Amino acid sequence: MGRRRYFLIFCILAIFVFAAVQCTQVESKSNDSRGPAYAGSATCVSCHKDLTKSALHNSHFNASKMLTKPNSADSLHIPDGEFIFNEKTKMLVKNRPDGLYQTAMINGVDRKTEHTAMVFGAGHKAYTFAFWYGNQLMQMPLNYLTQEQQWVNSPGFPAEQIYFGRTIDLRCLECHGSFAEKKPVQSTGFSVQEEYVKNSLIAGIDCERCHGPAAQHVNFHQENPEVKTAKFMVNYKQLALTQRVDACGICHSGVGIQSLSSMFSFKPGDTLKTLPEYSVYRGEDPDVHGKQKQLLEASLCYKIGKAECVTCHDVHDNNKPSPAIYSAKCISCHQDVKHDALKEKNKAILAKNCIDCHMPIKESHAIAFQLSNSKEKIPYKLRTHRIAIYKDLVKAK
């Protein structure tokens, strides 16, 4: 009897230990809000230290950032400031110990103050800010232009009054983040308000947003460290040109692309044309903001030369190449171009700068920033990705 009792106790303890271990393993593999198929980008560091170290500082990873912890806004180097609408109405921006705040002042009285929860943009040109209103993510009234070092009214906001009422919907997060889980849609009157599960948001474009779910890949290589060929991970070099470009185009085609399912479901190897309501470029002039894919596809360099995004861009690199580096890439394919239409004195610049003529900076028709105490607006300028001969620039040169 005694042996049976000890054996029974041993079995019960073994079951509890096994269950505890299994629960621990499940928890350790399911921390990513996207589900157990995702390992979390922190796991990539152990094998890809150099790539992740550089990628942590590049524009993709910093496309958005949560600012919920004290001093989390310090790295943005954003100053205090104000924006004047009129003699009675102005906005104040203040860095406090617990974060960055925007305050609406009406006749000298604080009418509304909100704490910045999230910032959008890598900061090369501008930052856009958001705050939580319950479970809704709302855009703040002011943006900050980093090159001009000034606070401006957010694009599309009223010119005469302070506005805290624009929601940041999932389509914004699909291009500026890696994941967000929506709560069931709630309708209030004529509008539909999107609410989020707050702790589900993954800010920035992380490794698995571009490379796809990596849990199976990580588990295999942790168990088989001697295998150096990547398993259970998409090899971009083996994808078709359209698939490679579409992997970038999921975010660089503008908000006009709509789908019945979330864009977060797009994986490397998928194509945009399978998405409902996808519109193909048909000769119009797409806006330079957000529509780099359509502009590139209108270029002969893409149609004939098969140039793609990574021909010029290293998506893991933190360094921004100079015009001379980009021009060297152009010249590698266009060594025989004579530029007979140019004056002799202007030909000396060609070896160092092709892009200012063939990918000129243009104004966005979708975005402009209103200046403080003024109705004047600063146009948002970006380099077009339609590589072409611009006859107006040839005449100007």
Model's pTM, two decimal places? Answer: 0.85
Given 171, 204, 237, the domain boundary residue is 204
Residues 285 and 170 in one domain: no
Residues 195 and 310 in one domain: no
Name the nearest CA neighbour of 334 among 300, 292, 362. Answer: 300
Number of domains in the chain: 2
Residue 2: the pLDDT is 55
Residues 173 and 286 in one domain: no
Residues 195 and 71 in one domain: yes
Does residue 8 fall inside a structural domain?
no
Tokens representing 219? 């588990």
C-alpha separations of 182 from 32, 178, 187 in Å: 16, 13, 14
Residues 287 and 197 in one domain: no
The whole-angstrom separation of Cα 29 and Cα 281 is 42
Residues 194 and 291 in one domain: no
- 189: containing domain: 62-204
Examine the pLDDT at 3 and tell me if it is beyond 50. yes
How many other CB atoms sit within 10 Å of the CB of residue 130? 24
* pLDDT 10s digits, 361-396: 999 988 999 999 999 999 999 999 999 988 776 555
Residues 316 and 185 in one domain: no
Does residue 327 fall inside a structural domain?
yes
Instruction: Identify whether the C-beta of residue 82 lies closer than 8 Å to the C-beta of residue 372.
Output: yes
Mean pLDDT of 4-8: 54
Given 153, 178, 204, the domain boundary residue is 204
Residue 25: the pLDDT is 35
* pLDDT 10s digits, 35-52: 999 999 889 988 998 888
Name the nearest CA neighbour of 380 among 372, 388, 370, 390. Answer: 370
* pLDDT 10s digits, 253-305: 887 777 778 899 999 999 987 776 665 555 567 889 989 999 999 999 999 99
Given 204, 219, 248, the domain boundary residue is 204
Does residue 248 fall inside a structural domain?
no
Residues 193 and 298 in one domain: no
Residues 69 and 155 in one domain: yes
Secondary structure element (H or E) that encloses residue 242, with its range: helix 241-249
